[in-house]
Amino acid sequence: MTINRRLGVLHGVRVLEIGHFVAAPFAARILADLGADVIKVEPPGGDPVRQWGEQIDGKSLWWSVHGRNKRCITLNLKTERAQSIVHALAAQCDVLIENFRPGQIDKLGLSPETLRRDRPDLIIAHISGYGQSGPYRDRAAFGAIGEAIGGLRHLTNHRPGASDLPPVRAGVSIGDSISGLYAVIGILAALWRREGRDGDRSAHTIDVALTESVLSLMEGMLPEYGALAKIKQPTGGGIATAAPSDAYPTADGGWVLIAANSEPLFAKLMGLMGREELVGAQGFRGNQERVENVAAMDALIADWTRSYGTSALIDKLTQADIPNSKVYTAADCASDPQYLHRGMIQSVDDPAFDGPVTHVGIVPRIDGENGVRWPGPPLGAHTREVLHELLAMNDAAIDALRADGVV
């Protein structure tokens, strides 16, 4: 059969999102980006992200991206009628994704058992700070704390002794995003088990913890500690096992990444700096000596880079074929020729702002497709459409629900 590719490879999958903040909504957005029909349930007050970050007329710009490609309905889940509607909707969905505190959906009458009474093969994905079981399961999930418990915060710092400032956080909720990506993986794997070759036609449950999602990226940290009692330490802007490789300052206050840790690249860099005598000199002989001598060597390189403006330095390094890059800001990303060529910077018309909003393109790119269907919708924009289409409710019935504060 022919698929309408413009609809995305997940066309035909329907997802009910009872999510808020970042992790579950981000996961559902990835599914929506790939073509799933995502129905996002919000309380009548809306997901708080609608007011997060920079706003225009009280409307968050981030929401335009975070809510895109979904259908948004409101339901006051404290009412029994709304809970019945969730049951009826879930019966027509392949997947339910939620990120309440563990156990909270059961208290709302939406336990997996009751939901699966109407839809026995419903795939349910839970995202939480610490997981659905264990002694910490009821603790509040703060992204920053989850990243710390996952081991990431300790490693995101200058080398021990280099600074009195605290370890830093990436300026984004990276732990939430990573757990969202893992939830998508769990959902899609479960869909394949349910419906793929030799599918089992059964329900599956995904239990993603923010802490565990971060911990799973820590590479050699656990095995090295287990075998050698070695506690992995941060390395600032550098890499523990290769030097020089770091961000170096420029005359205009910018930073340029230089990766010149192979012997030929190091020799090229020293040549460019007019310091050929350091090639093969003590403290610079081979990667291992340079790693041990990294502070002194980086200071030498920084003295040199500081005498050039950012673009002059990049030109010099590029001409010498030494891997380098500006440390991109939002402005650099938005004007990068490669991103523009690949449709990764898109102008999406958003009626909420009476004009185009800059969106990131769709990742992962499948079969070359990269089209955003629509921006984050206004609160409750699809309540009537969804209740009519999926539950065959007429306008009068929906008006009654609205009058009673159910939707």
Under rule CB under 8 A, residue 19 binds its own copies: no
Least distance from its own copies to the Cβ atom of residue 340, Å: 9
Single out the residue of 196, 208, 187, 189 nearest to residue 93, CA to CA.
Answer: 187
Under rule CB under 8 A, residue 270 binds its own copies: no
Stretch touching its own copies by CB under 8 A, among 75-83, 178-186, 307-315, 392-400:
178-186
Under rule CB under 8 A, residue 271 binds its own copies: no
Choosing from 106, 138, 168, 405, the residue that interacts with its own copies (CB under 8 A) is 168
Choosing from 73, 357, 386, 390, the residue that interacts with its own copies (CB under 8 A) is 357
Choosing from 107, 118, 233, 288, the residue that interacts with its own copies (CB under 8 A) is 233
Under rule CB under 8 A, residue 113 binds its own copies: no
Least distance from its own copies to the Cβ atom of residue 400, Å: 35
Least distance from its own copies to the Cβ atom of residue 322, Å: 11
Single out the residue of 358, 360, 356 nearest to residue 26, CA to CA.
Answer: 360
Opening angle at CA 359, ends 355 and 361, nearest 5: 135
212 contacts: CB under 8 Å, gap ≥ 6: 131, 150
Catalytic residue from among 176, 246, 298, 350: 176
In the window 189-228, what residues touch its own copies (CB under 8 A)?
A: 189-193, 195-198, 200, 202, 204-209, 211-213, 215-228
Cis peptide before 364 (omega within 30 of 0): yes
Residue 120 to residue 142: CA distance in whole angstroms: 33
Stretch touching its own copies by CB under 8 A, among 230-238, 271-279, 287-295, 391-399:
230-238
Asked if 399 is an active-site residue, the reply is no
Choosing from 368, 392, 394, 396, the residue that interacts with its own copies (CB under 8 A) is 368
Under rule CB under 8 A, residue 186 binds its own copies: yes
Residue 395 to residue 38: CA distance in whole angstroms: 22
Choosing from 10, 16, 75, 85, the residue that interacts with its own copies (CB under 8 A) is 10
Token pair listed for 311: 């673009």
Least distance from its own copies to the Cβ atom of residue 235, Å: 6
Single out the residue of 266, 251, 252, 264 nearest to residue 298, CA to CA.
Answer: 266
Runs of H (alpha helix) within 136-285: 143-149, 152-155, 174-195, 210-215, 221-228, 263-273
Q: How many CB atoms lie within 10 A of CB 231?
A: 9
Tell me how far apart the terminal alpha carbons of the chain are, to the nearest angstrom. Answer: 39
Choosing from 56, 251, 312, 397, the residue that interacts with its own copies (CB under 8 A) is 56
Token pair listed for 170: 């990436």
Choosing from 106, 117, 118, 170, the residue that interacts with its own copies (CB under 8 A) is 170
Under rule CB under 8 A, residue 25 binds its own copies: no
Supply the residues annotated as catalytic: 176
